[in-house]
Structure formats: structure tokens, C-alpha cells
């Protein structure tokens, strides 16, 4: 395809298609928009130079993150006490930065500007997958808006326990790039037939794999109570609120002694563990006598004067988990010596945490092992995959109040569903103001509480043992395959 430099219409189309892509994700779940959006971007980038592809992908990324992470404005303005103007500027800066990171790997598509169209159709999804992978670790990572999440309720979700969410993204982008190819070869029966066979294989293979049991029940079901206290985010950190919160914590636990496990959300107790050791000891002894396990979020400080966002086990539960992936500005402040104290947003409560060790022991409840993840960590596929191998139940606690009344909590819940599906283990999700839910080993929501309401979700959960291929190998196979495709296509071009 001869190069035609992008014009204003091309950039406008890229911006609109990028803004449409988040509609494929929760809470909308209009998954065909993902195929349409990636088709448009693939079509616009065909035959373009590296610089032109970067420009188109950058504009597409502005639409993608401008709509898909619009909740960033809510966090900065509503809870960071930033003015409308400052919150808008910071949100725009974040969106622009993410758009650059999104565009960088895709710009390499310009290397295939003179490649055969079929080769370009394979290169585009391979670069997209590598882009999602890069965004999971670059500058600590922000693995948000992977489009594979939007297909968790479709046939192709069956591939997730094998290769993870990035593989689903690759399949969808391949379909989009294939549409662009079919437009160019609309008269070729071979190309149309080959494309249909590839799509049928992806869909039929996923449908078959959805019936596969990668794990199996182990032991009797346990009765679980997930507490959603719905406490105002900023008010709960005030000193005069602590006594009320502790009284409610103790009284609520007393009403749940008929349960096997009680779970409270992230930072359910808004004070350092060292400040209430006696209070927690009494609860621990009482619950242990009643054969009840409790897991709660609470910040912890160590003798080395380091602070951790943590969950602890009390009663029949034992163990402590320190959060490993921290939220920039929410839990630590980059360039702290310059930014701390400049505006209220850089002085949010508990924004001076340290990251926990890379490898940590699971929370034990009798013979059961529970793999925890705190809030933002549930967005990292490989992080939980390592912990899930020997776990019987997955757990994520969160404080989604930061999202306000936005699409953020729905996206967050969808990620948790994918982690359960990838690792073939049931997952418990306890949040401060929703969406608290119980998710089975196939990623289906079995029970949930509405947002912005205090409540207790009681459910019977069956522990599972075994591990899926993704639990064992993580994203390595799909990332390796993407690299291999690009290398083979370049070598084929050289020796053709």
C-alpha cells in the first residue's frame, strides 16, 4: 500500500476510535466496538512511516485514556482537593503521558510499511500485545484498559486460563487488523477464506476451552462474610472518628461468629496496627476461641520506620501481607522532596508507604491458603498468577471510594473477574463502598453488593486446588510468541 501521509481527517478518526474503545469494557461491555476501533487504527497505520504511525497512535491513545481513565479527574479533584483547573491540567498531563507510552511500541509498525499485507496483519496485534505487556512494568506499570477484559463473557474467554488477558487482546486486535486486510483484498477468495478460518478457530477453540476444568474442588465449602462499611474516605482518617470505627468493627464481628471467614476491605481500620495492639489481641483471642478467621486491611509500621499498606489475619487466620505495587501519588509521591507540600493532592492520608517484598507467604486459614492482592495490584496479571499456584482462594481488598461515582470501580471489578478466570480459582472481593463480590473459578459473579451502601455479603465458597497453565507460566508464552512473530516477519522480509 503506497504511503499517504495522515491528514486532519485521519487524526480525527483516530481520536474518535480511541475514545470508543473503552465502551468495550465495563460497565458498558459493548465488545464489538473494540474490533471496530482496532480496525480503524490498523487501517490508518497501514503503509505509514514510524513517525506517522506514532502520531496516529498518540492521538488514538489520547481518546483511549481520555475516556477510559476519566476517573483520574475525580480522584484528583474530589479527594485531592485540587481546583477544577489544576485537576484538569493534571488529568490532561496523565492522559498525554499514557498516550505516549501507548504509541511507542505501536510506532514500530512503521517498519512493516512495505511488508506484504498479510505480514502487516500479523505484526499489528503482536506489537499491541507487547505494548500491553510493556505498560504492565514500565515506570512501575499501569496495566489498565487492556481490551481483552471486555471479552470475559464471550467465547474467546476460554483462552484466558492458557495465555491470559493479553492473549485475548491479541486475538481481538488480529480481528480488527484482519478487517483492514479484507477491505484491501475484498475480491480474493483465498484471503477471505483464510481469515474466516482463523476467526472460527479462535472462537471455536475458546468455546471448547471454556468447558475445561483447570482446577478442582478441595475440601468442604466455607461460609464467608464480606463487610462493606461504606465509610467516607477523608472523614474516616480523622482522629475523632477512630473510636466509632473500632466499636463498629468489634460489634460487627460479634454478629458474624457463625461464619468461617470474615473479610474487611483495604484500610478498614484507619490507624497504625501498633496503635491498637491490645484491641486487636482481644479480637484475635475471641475469634480464635470461636473458630472464626478474620482478614482485614490495616496500615503497619515497622521498627525500621517503614510504613506498609497491609492485610493481617486474626483468629483462625494467620499471616501478614504487605502491598507490593503502590499507586503513584496515592500511596507514595514520586519526586517527594519537590512535590510534597505543594498542593493538598500530594499530601493525601497514607501517601508515604513502602512496597512489600516480591515474594510473600499466603494468608493461612486452617489448612486453606489465601492469596491476597490489595486494590491496584489486581490489575497485574502475572503478580497474582505466581501467588495463585498453591492457593485455594484468591482475595482482593480495595477502597474504590477514590473512583467516586465513575466507571473506575466497574473496570476494577472486571479485572478481578479476569484474575479468577486466568488462575481458575474463586476470588473474594471486599471493598469499602462497592463493588463487593464473590467470583467463581470461571470468572462469573455469584453474589455482589450494590455501591454506596453499607452491607455484609454472605456466601458459601468452595476452595479449589490445581493450577491453570497461566498460573504456571504467566504472560511469558504470549509475549514470547509476539516477539517471535515480529522476528520471523523481519527475517522473512530480509531473505525473501
The pLDDT value recorded for residue 3 is 58
Residue 493: its pLDDT value, please? 65
The residue annotated as part of the active site, out of 375, 377, 422, 425, is 375
Report the interhelical angle of 165-184 vs 32-45 (nearest 10°): 60
Considering 132, 175, 179, 266, which one is annotated as catalytic?
A: 266
DSSP 75: I
| Distance separating the N- and C-terminal Cα atoms of the chain | 18
> DSSP state, 328?
B
pLDDT at residue number 40? 97
Measured from the Cβ of residue 6, the count of other Cβ atoms closer than 10 Å reads 18
Dihedral sign of CA atoms 411, 55, 164, 296 in order? negative
Residues of the chain with pLDDT under 70: 1-3, 186-187, 329-330, 332-351, 493-496
Q: At what angle do helices 50-68 and 32-45 cross, to 10 degrees?
A: 160
Task: Tell me if residue 235 is catalytic.
Answer: no
pLDDT for position 347 = 54
How many residues are listed for the chain in this entry?
A: 496
Is 331 among the residues known to form the active site?
A: no
Please work out, in degrees rounded to the nearest 5, the angle formed at the alpha carbon of residue 35 by the alpha carbons of 30 and 38.
Answer: 125
Q: Which pTM does this prediction carry?
A: 0.94
Candidates 289, 274, 287; CA nearest to 314 is 287
Report which of 78, 77, 61 is spatially closest to residue 18, judged by C-alpha positions: 61
258-303 tens-digit pLDDT: 999 999 999 999 999 999 999 999 999 999 999 999 999 999 998 7
At 333 the pLDDT is 60
The C-alpha R_g of the chain, in whole angstroms, comes to 24
**What is the predicted pLDDT for the residue at 346?**
52
Distance CA 461, CA 446 (A): 10
Q: What is the pLDDT of residue 252?
A: 97
CA distance 9 to 416: 38
pLDDT of residue 421: 98
Q: Domain spanning 216-467: which superfamily?
A: Carbon-nitrogen hydrolase (3.60.110.10)
Question: Among the options 45, 175, 179, 323, which is catalytic?
Answer: 323
Determine whether 184 is an active site residue: no
What residue spans define the domains of the chain? 8-212+475-495, 216-467
Burial of 34-68, coded b for 16+ CB within 10 Å and e otherwise, reads bbbbbbbbbbbbbbbbeebbbbbbbbbbbbbbbbb
Amino acid at each position: 500500500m503506497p504511503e499517504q501521509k495522515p491528514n486532519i481527517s485521519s487524526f480525527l478518526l483516530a481520536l474518535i476510535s480511541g475514545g470508543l474503545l473503552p465502551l468495550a469494557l465495563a460497565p458498558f461491555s459493548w465488545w464489538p466496538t473494540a474490533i471496530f476501533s482496532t480496525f480503524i487504527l490498523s487501517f490508518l497505520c497501514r503503509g505509514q512511516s514510524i513517525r506517522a504511525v506514532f502520531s496516529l497512535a498518540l492521538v488514538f491513545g489520547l481518546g483511549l485514556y481520555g475516556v477510559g481513565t476519566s476517573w483520574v479527574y475525580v480522584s484528583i479533584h474530589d479527594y485531592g482537593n485540587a481546583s477544577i483547573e489544576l485537576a484538569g491540567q493534571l488529568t490532561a498531563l496523565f492522559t498525554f503521558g499514557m498516550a505516549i507510552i501507548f504509541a511507542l511500541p505501536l510506532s514500530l509498525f512503521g517498519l512493516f510499511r512495505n511488508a506484504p499485507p498479510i505480514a502487516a496483519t500479523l505484526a499489528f496485534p503482536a506489537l499491541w500485545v507487547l505494548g500491553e505487556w510493556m505498560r504492565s512494568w514500565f515506570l512501575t506499570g499501569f496495566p489498565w484498559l487492556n481490551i481483552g477484559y471486555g471479552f470475559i463473557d464471550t467465547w474467546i474467554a476460554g483462552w484466558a486460563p492458557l495465555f491470559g488477558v493479553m492473549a485475548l487482546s491479541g486475538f481481538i486486535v488480529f480481528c480488527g487488523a484482519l478487517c483492514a486486510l479484507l477491505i484491501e483484498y475484498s475480491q480474493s477468495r483465498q484471503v477471505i477464506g483464510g481469515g474466516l478460518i482463523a476467526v472460527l478457530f479462535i472462537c471455536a477453540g475458546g468455546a471448547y476451552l471454556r468447558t475445561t476444568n483447570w482446577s478442582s474442588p478441595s475440601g468442604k465449602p466455607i461460609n464467608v462474610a464480606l463487610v462493606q462499611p461504606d465509610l467516607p474516605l477523608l472523614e474516616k482518617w480523622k482522629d475523632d472518628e477512630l473510636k466509632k470505627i473500632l466499636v463498629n468493627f468489634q460489634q460487627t464481628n460479634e454478629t458474624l461468629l457463625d461464619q468461617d471467614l470474615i473479610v474487611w476491605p483495604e484500610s478498614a481500620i484507619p490507624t497504625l496496627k501498633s496503635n491498637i495492639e491490645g484491641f486487636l489481641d482481644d479480637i484475635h483471642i475471641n475469634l480464635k476461641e470461636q473458630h472464626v478467621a478474620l482478614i482485614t486491611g490495616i496500615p503497619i509500621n515497622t521498627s525500621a520506620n517503614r510504613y506498609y499498606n497491609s492485610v493481617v489475619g486474626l483468629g483462625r487466620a494467620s499471616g501478614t501481607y504487605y502491598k507490593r505495587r503502590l499507586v503513584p501519588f496515592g500511596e507514595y509521591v514520586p519526586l517527594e522532596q519537590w512535590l510534597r507540600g505543594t498542593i493538598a493532592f500530594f499530601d493525601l492520608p497514607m501517601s508515604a508507604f513502602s512496597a512489600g517484598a516480591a515474594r510473600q507467604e499466603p494468608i493461612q486459614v486452617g489448612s486453606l491458603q489465601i492469596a491476597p492482592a490489595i486494590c491496584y495490584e489486581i490489575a497485574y496479571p502475572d503478580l497474582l498468577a505466581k501467588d495463585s499456584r498453591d492457593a485455594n482462594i484468591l482475595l482482593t481488598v480495595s477502597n474504590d471510594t477514590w473512583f467516586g461515582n465513575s466507571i473506575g470501580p466497574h473496570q476494577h471489578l472486571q479485572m478481578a473477574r479476569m484474575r479468577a478466570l486466568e488462575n481458575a480459582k474463586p476470588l473474594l472481593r471486599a471493598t469499602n463502598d462497592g463493588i463487593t463480590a464473590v467470583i467463581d473459578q470461571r470468572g462469573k459473579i455469584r453474589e455482589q453488593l450494590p455501591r454506596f451502601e453499607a452491607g455484609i455479603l454472605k456466601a458459601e465458597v468452595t476452595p479449589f486446588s490445581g493450577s491453570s497453565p497461566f498460573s504456571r507460566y504467566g504472560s511469558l508464552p504470549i509475549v514470547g510468541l509476539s516477539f517471535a512473530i515480529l522476528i520471523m516477519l523481519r527475517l522473512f522480509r530480509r531473505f525473501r
